[in-house]
Chain A
């Protein structure tokens, strides 16, 4: 009898869990916007976003299959399962870590959900299940094309297909939970301190740096892919080739031990390895959910409650200009939210890290690894573009207006001239990108011993692109801004505006870089880069004048 009651309760809990997951998916996918939204602009925005996301996903799947094909083509197909697991796990880890705060903790409807008669473990399960569904989707994008390439080359037995298919739904479990543990750790630490968001942001960035840098330490001393081919004849270097496969496998398995179990299972048909892999994944997931339910409420309360000192004494208040007031407000808006800070500033952080890495490792070592003749010459010409490509990912100007969200009534009801508002958004964007561009270009110039002209071009290029993309950001922001978003994480990560702000700049840098460096014009790369800079500055100035008089959307 007790068993039956327990079974019914479990069934009821899963039903509730599914309701919560369904509700969350409806919000994330914007299903109701497609079905019920009468405003055509909003519907079209959603459709364009969906199409853009799908294109990106197909490109990612295409990249994965090309990568797998590359390995299979040189006979290293045995590495594909291990690489597939590591790639999808790393992707899951990084993406999930960024959204743990906002998805698992401190989510917008926390108060509502917690007030309903739903057990805490069901709420946790629903949030984890939602993360799992998305991560499985990304895993499929990585592992299905790689699995097809592997099957085509290795012609494995039937057991492979069974194990690979089952693995698709298990691979993301460990990284999801690891990311959630890291996120929970960061949340637990930051929630105890006064500047919760700032501490969370710093810890998150440090963790990402560690995760990105850690694999590099494993590969130190190993042979680069350039050594696979004889630099003189262009033929496959058989000696290197035979030694390379076990070395790469070793790196992969040291980097992520569960990959060994999965790889052994699918390539060698070892069911025990697969059971161990599946068991470890499921046990980790279950244990985490159970442990978290003990402290979940306390962690969320600490995260969402604010310290109230109630001891303020009015002191002298400094008068400032309207432009500076708006600038300070916007910069605080971005920095005080760990979600906006980590997502919007990631490009600048990456640029600084790369510059430091180049200074430490040295361009010669990098050139040795990739085995391209005259590599340092190319590095020197491309330096400005490489920095620009990362710096322009920080495009706060594109989302600043939409970030006003429910506060937009204030901006619209105050006597703020549009130009002053746009200037404040530009200043905010440039506060992040200009110092980063300067620091990185100086570090690059020192590392590459760029010479006077090279240094000037390396400094000028990212500065120009920063300015240009910030003005374009204002252009986009004032045409596409919408304010009725509910979920900051979703807005910053998945909105078309946010993606367009990030990717458009990178795309432009790649095109300009190609024009300058491909040699299609019979003049020096520095001269073409200089002309591109001038053209972009003129265009940015003209666009700025044009946009300044446009009313706030």
Chain B
């Protein structure tokens, strides 16, 4: 569903945010993307969803190239950024209607999907209010509902659990499992390693822009007997830091 091949991104000033990253997300995968702050997670995600331009590598979504066929990719993708900056001058329902119009969702279908997801996230009563009056968590919920409106085949989420209350977190996890059971895929970044371990079937770890590990959770736990995602993450980070010190 999502193939990232030799992707690199260098920002102006020469800083290489991502260096030769390759990974593959298959249909039905819940793929966790793990890394420390500034590791290159958001850069990769923004390039995948067409927000960030890039020069090196290739990113394919369901066989469509993000660079040459951006609209075909965007029609089957949904993206939720780490900080949901939504149109604050619109009400919640105006925003959802706007997104529905962009994806050309028929009237009845949008009503059903909005009702189902807004009820699940307990935000239906707030949809008539301006988004500027929403808390961070409510904005996050609205962004999630809008992302699910067109039943995307690839859902890309940047730190989706930040700002959500415990109940909404559980709802989102269940929703993610439901989406993947229907054949769609999810690629999401997170700092919460426990969530990734319980929710994902595959993970990739990125450290200082480079891929440090990519594979299934089972393979990871087999490799590190009795270990955990947290243990592996700390091992990678510490190993790299020691390497850097020795180089220095």
Measuring CB to CB, which residues of chain A are less than 8 angstroms from any residue of chain B?
A: 38-39, 305-314, 316-322, 324-326, 328-329, 332-333, 336-337, 406-410, 412-417
Q: Which residues of B contact A317 (CB under 8 A)?
A: 93, 97, 100, 107, 110-111, 114
| Least CB separation from A415: chain B residue | B74
5 additional A-B residue pairs with CB within 8 Å, beyond A322-B102, A410-B85, A413-B79: A307-B130, A310-B126, A311-B128, A319-B105, A412-B51
Q: Which residues of A contact B125 (CB under 8 A)?
A: 310-312
User: B107's contact among A319, A322, A324, by CB below 8 Å, is which?
Assistant: A319
State the CA gap A310–B50 with chains docked (Å). Answer: 35
Q: Which residues of B contact A322 (CB under 8 A)?
A: 101-102, 104
Q: A311-B125, A329-B90, A414-B74 are in contact. Are A39 and B12 (CB under 8 A)?
A: yes
A400 to chain B, nearest CB (A): 13
Q: Which residues of A contact B12 (CB under 8 A)?
A: 38-39
17 A-B contacts (beta carbon < 8 Å): A309-B128, A310-B129, A312-B129, A314-B111, A317-B114, A318-B107, A319-B101, A322-B102, A325-B98, A332-B90, A407-B86, A408-B51, A409-B79, A410-B86, A412-B51, A416-B71, A417-B71
Q: Which residues of B contact A408 (CB under 8 A)?
A: 51
State the CA gap A311–B123 with chains docked (Å). Answer: 10
Mask of B96-132 contacts with A, CB within 8 angstroms, 1/0: 0111111111110011001100100000111111101
Taking a contact as CB atoms under 8 Å apart, the answer to whether A332 and B89 are in contact is yes
State the CA gap A511–B219 with chains docked (Å). Answer: 73
State the CA gap A309–B49 with chains docked (Å). Answer: 35
Cβ-closest 6 pairs across A and B: A312-B128, A306-B133, A325-B101, A415-B74, A336-B89, A406-B85
Q: A310-B125, A314-B118, A415-B103 are in contact. Are A333 and B97 (CB under 8 A)?
A: no
Mask of B132-148 contacts with A, CB within 8 angstroms, 1/0: 11000000000000000
State the CA gap A416–B92 with chains docked (Å). Answer: 21
Taking a contact as CB atoms under 8 Å apart, the answer to whether A308 and B133 are in contact is yes
B62 to chain A, nearest CB (A): 13
A196 to chain B, nearest CB (A): 10
Q: Which residues of A contact B77 (CB under 8 A)?
A: 413
User: B111's contact among A312, A316, A329, by CB below 8 Å, is which?
Assistant: A316
B74 to chain A, nearest CB (A): 4
B86 to chain A, nearest CB (A): 7
User: A319's contact among B51, B100, B130, by CB below 8 Å, is which?
Assistant: B100
State the CA gap A313–B102 with chains docked (Å). Answer: 23
State the CA gap A316–B92 with chains docked (Å). Answer: 15
Task: Report which residue of A305, A321, A414 has the largest number of chain B beta carbons within 10 angstroms of its beta carbon.
Answer: A414
| Least CB separation from B51: chain A residue | A412
Taking a contact as CB atoms under 8 Å apart, the answer to whether A325 and B51 are in contact is no
Taking a contact as CB atoms under 8 Å apart, the answer to whether A309 and B129 are in contact is yes
Number of interface residues of B (CB under 8 A): 46
Q: Which residues of B contact A39 (CB under 8 A)?
A: 12
State the CA gap A312–B138 with chains docked (Å). Answer: 15
B148 to chain A, nearest CB (A): 14
Q: Which residues of A contact B127 (CB under 8 A)?
A: 312, 314
Q: Which residues of B contact A320 (CB under 8 A)?
A: 97, 101
Measuring CB to CB, which residues of chain B are less than 8 angstroms from any residue of chain A?
A: 12-13, 46, 49-51, 70-71, 74-75, 77, 79, 81, 85-87, 89-90, 92-94, 97-107, 110-111, 114-115, 118, 124-130, 132-133
Q: A319-B101, A414-B102 are in contact. Are A306 and B107 (CB under 8 A)?
A: no
B126 to chain A, nearest CB (A): 5
Q: Which residues of B contact A414 (CB under 8 A)?
A: 74, 99, 102
Task: Report which residue of A311, A326, A408, A413 has the largest number of chain B beta carbons within 10 angstroms of its beta carbon.
Answer: A413
State the CA gap A412–B92 with chains docked (Å). Answer: 20
Q: Which residues of A contact B133 (CB under 8 A)?
A: 305-308
Task: Report which residue of A310, A321, A417 has the largest number of chain B beta carbons within 10 angstroms of its beta carbon.
Answer: A310
Q: A314-B127, A332-B90 are in contact. Are A415 and B85 (CB under 8 A)?
A: no
State the CA gap A312–B125 with chains docked (Å). Answer: 4
User: A333's contact among B49, B87, B107, by CB below 8 Å, is which?
Assistant: B87
User: B126's contact among A312, A332, A336, A416, by CB below 8 Å, is which?
Assistant: A312
| Least CB separation from B138: chain A residue | A308
A272 to chain B, nearest CB (A): 53
State the CA gap A308–B134 with chains docked (Å). Answer: 9
State the CA gap A408–B87 with chains docked (Å). Answer: 10
State the CA gap A306–B134 with chains docked (Å). Answer: 9
Taking a contact as CB atoms under 8 Å apart, the answer to whether B13 and A38 are in contact is yes
State the CA gap A231–B107 with chains docked (Å). Answer: 72
Taking a contact as CB atoms under 8 Å apart, the answer to whether A413 and B51 are in contact is yes
Taking a contact as CB atoms under 8 Å apart, the answer to whether B98 and A329 are in contact is yes
Task: Report which residue of A314, A408, A412 has the largest number of chain B beta carbons within 10 angstroms of its beta carbon.
Answer: A314
Taking a contact as CB atoms under 8 Å apart, the answer to whether B49 and A308 are in contact is no
Taking a contact as CB atoms under 8 Å apart, the answer to whether B114 and A314 are in contact is yes
User: B110's contact among A313, A319, A332, by CB below 8 Å, is which?
Assistant: A319
Task: Report which residue of B87, B101, B105, B125 has the largest number of chain A beta carbons within 10 angstroms of its beta carbon.
Answer: B101
Taking a contact as CB atoms under 8 Å apart, the answer to whether A413 and B126 are in contact is no
A313 to chain B, nearest CB (A): 8
B69 to chain A, nearest CB (A): 11
Taking a contact as CB atoms under 8 Å apart, the answer to whether B118 and A337 are in contact is no
| Least CB separation from B125: chain A residue | A310
User: A409's contact among B51, B70, B71, B93, by CB below 8 Å, is which?
Assistant: B51
| Least CB separation from B91: chain A residue | A312
Taking a contact as CB atoms under 8 Å apart, the answer to whether A409 and B81 are in contact is yes
Q: A329-B90, A333-B89 are in contact. Are A306 and B129 (CB under 8 A)?
A: yes
Taking a contact as CB atoms under 8 Å apart, the answer to whether A413 and B49 are in contact is yes
B136 to chain A, nearest CB (A): 13
Q: Which residues of B contact A321 (CB under 8 A)?
A: 101
Taking a contact as CB atoms under 8 Å apart, the answer to whether B90 and A314 are in contact is no
Taking a contact as CB atoms under 8 Å apart, the answer to whether A329 and B129 are in contact is no
State the CA gap A284–B114 with chains docked (Å). Answer: 55
State the CA gap A45–B51 with chains docked (Å). Answer: 22
State the CA gap A407–B104 with chains docked (Å). Answer: 21
State the CA gap A248–B105 with chains docked (Å). Answer: 66
A325 to chain B, nearest CB (A): 3
| Least CB separation from B77: chain A residue | A413
Taking a contact as CB atoms under 8 Å apart, the answer to whether B102 and A415 are in contact is yes
B98 to chain A, nearest CB (A): 5
Q: Which residues of A contact B128 (CB under 8 A)?
A: 309, 311-312
State the CA gap A202–B74 with chains docked (Å). Answer: 40
B103 to chain A, nearest CB (A): 7
| Least CB separation from A340: chain B residue | B89
Q: Which residues of A contact B115 (CB under 8 A)?
A: 314
State the CA gap A551–B129 with chains docked (Å). Answer: 34
